[in-house]
Amino acid sequence: MSGPVLVLVEHAAGEPDRLSLEALAFASSLAGSLGADVEAVLVGPGSAGVAASLGGHGVRTAHVVADGRLDAYAPAAFASALGTVAEARSPSAVVAPGSDRGTEVLAHLAARTGLPMAANVVSAEPGESWRIVRQRWAGSLLEDATLDAPIRLLTVAPHVVEAADGAAVPAPEVVSHNASLAEADLVVRVTGREAPETGKISLTDAKVVIGGGRGVGSAEQFAELEELAGLIGAAVGGSRVATSLGWRPHSDQIGQTGLRIAPELYIACGISGAIQHIVGCKAAKRILAINTDPDSPIMAVADYAVIGDLHAVLPAITAEVRRRRG
Ligand SMILES: Cc1cc2nc3c(=O)[nH]c(=O)nc-3n(C[C@H](O)[C@H](O)[C@H](O)COP(=O)(O)OP(=O)(O)OC[C@H]3O[C@@H](n4cnc5c(N)ncnc54)[C@H](O)[C@@H]3O)c2cc1C
C-alpha cells in the first residue's frame, strides 16, 4: 500500500477554510487512485477541534502539531511542523491548498527537503512518474508536466475541485505531535492584526460580489455599489484601476494580483474584463456585466449583460429591489 496523502488544513475560528476542503477533496480522489488514506495536518490554536470535524472530508487520521509558538502564523515554523509529520508518516504526497499560506508553507517545505513542488495543480495521475496538469500564468494556460520525487509536493488550484459536503461520519483519529522548531523558524511571523470592519462580508465568502472598475468614476460613486450590496447582502470589490486610483483599498482588488472570488453571482460594473481581472472572478457561477461598451472583453465571459451607463443601471436595480420588498 502507498504511503498516505497528507493534506495541510488551514483553519480559523474553529472552521477549516474552503480551499483546504477543496484540497481534501482533491486528495481523496488522488488517494483513491493510489489505494492510500488521506491524513490531515493541522497547526495552530483550535487544531484539535477542527481535526475532529474532518471525517466527512475523507480524513482517516488527523495530525495536530501543538506548540504555543505556532499560535501565530510563521511560514518556516509551519513548514517545520508539516515536515515533522511528513517524516513520521512517509507520505506519497503532501498536498496544500492553493492559498497564499498553503503555497508559502509548501514552498518552505520544498526548500528544506530539496523536493520538487508543483503549484496550482488541477489533476494528478499517479504512475512511475506522476503526470500532472497545472495552471500557469494565473490560470490562463494549462501545463502538462511530470513529477518525479519520492514525496510529491502539490498545491491545488483554487476552485477547480468541489469540496465534499462534509456529511457526518465517524471522527478521524487525532494524533498529537511535538514541534521541533529552531529560532530561525520564527524570524518571520505574524505579530499583529487589523480587525476587519465588523459586519463586512468578505469577498472570498460572499455569495454575491459587486465589482467596480474605472467606469465607476470616483471613490464617492462606489456608494451606488455599496447601496445595492447592502440591500442584497453582497460584498464590494474592484479592479486594479479602482484600487490603484485609491477608490478602494488594495485588499478589495479582484484578479491576478488580488483576490480570487467564487460567488454565485459576480456583477462587474464598468470593468473591461482584462485577463488579469478575469482570472480572479472566473470561478463565479454567473457573471453579469454592466458596461457601456458592447464590445468590451468582459462580454466574452459574461452570462448576462446590460449595455448601459452603470450610474443609471445600478440605481434602477436598487430601486426595483426596494420596490419588490415593499
Ligand atoms: C501584472 C499585472 C497584474 C494585474 N493584476 C490585476 C488584477 O489583479 N486585477 C485587475 O483588475 N487588473 C489587474 N491588472 C490590470 C489589468 O490589465 C487592467 O488594466 C484592469 O483590470 C482594467 O481595469 P478596469 O476594467 O477597471 O478599467 P478599464 O480597462 O479602463 O475599463 C473600464 C470599463 O468601464 C466601462 N465604462 C466606462 N464608463 C462606464 C459607465 N458609466 N458605465 C458602464 N461602463 C462604463 C468601459 O467601457 C470599460 O470597459 C494587472 C495588470 C498587470 C500587467
Atom of ligand 1 nearest to the CA of 214: 26
Q: Are 266 and 288 in contact (CB under 8 A)?
A: yes
Residue type, 224: E
Reported as a single tens digit per residue, the pLDDT across 185-232 is 999 999 998 766 666 788 988 999 999 999 999 999 999 999 999 999
35 vs 30: CA distance, rounded Å: 9
Q: How far is the CA of 300 from the centre of ligand 1 (A)?
A: 15
> For the chain, which domains are there?
5-186 (3.40.50.620), 208-325 (3.40.50.1220)
Q: Residue 153 contacts by C-beta under 8 Å, 6 or more apart in sequence?
A: 93, 94, 96, 106, 109, 110, 115, 116, 117, 118
What's the predicted TM-score (pTM) here?
A: 0.75
Reported as a single tens digit per residue, the pLDDT across 145-194 is 999 999 999 999 998 999 988 777 788 999 999 999 999 999 999 999 87
Q: How far is the CA of 71 from the centre of ligand 1 (A)?
A: 39
pLDDT for res 200 = 77
Reported as a single tens digit per residue, the pLDDT across 10-23 is 999 999 999 999 99
Q: Name the residue with cell 430601486.
A: 319
- Atom 25, ligand 1: which residue's CA is nearest? 271
Q: How far is the CA of 277 from the centre of ligand 1 (A)?
A: 7
Nearest residue to 93 via CA among 43, 31, 175, 161: 31
Pocket test for ligand 1, best of 239, 247, 290 (most atoms within 8 A of CB): 239
DSSP 234: -
Greater confidence, 265 or 66? Answer: 265
Q: How far is the CA of 74 from the centre of ligand 1 (A)?
A: 34
pLDDT for res 204 = 86
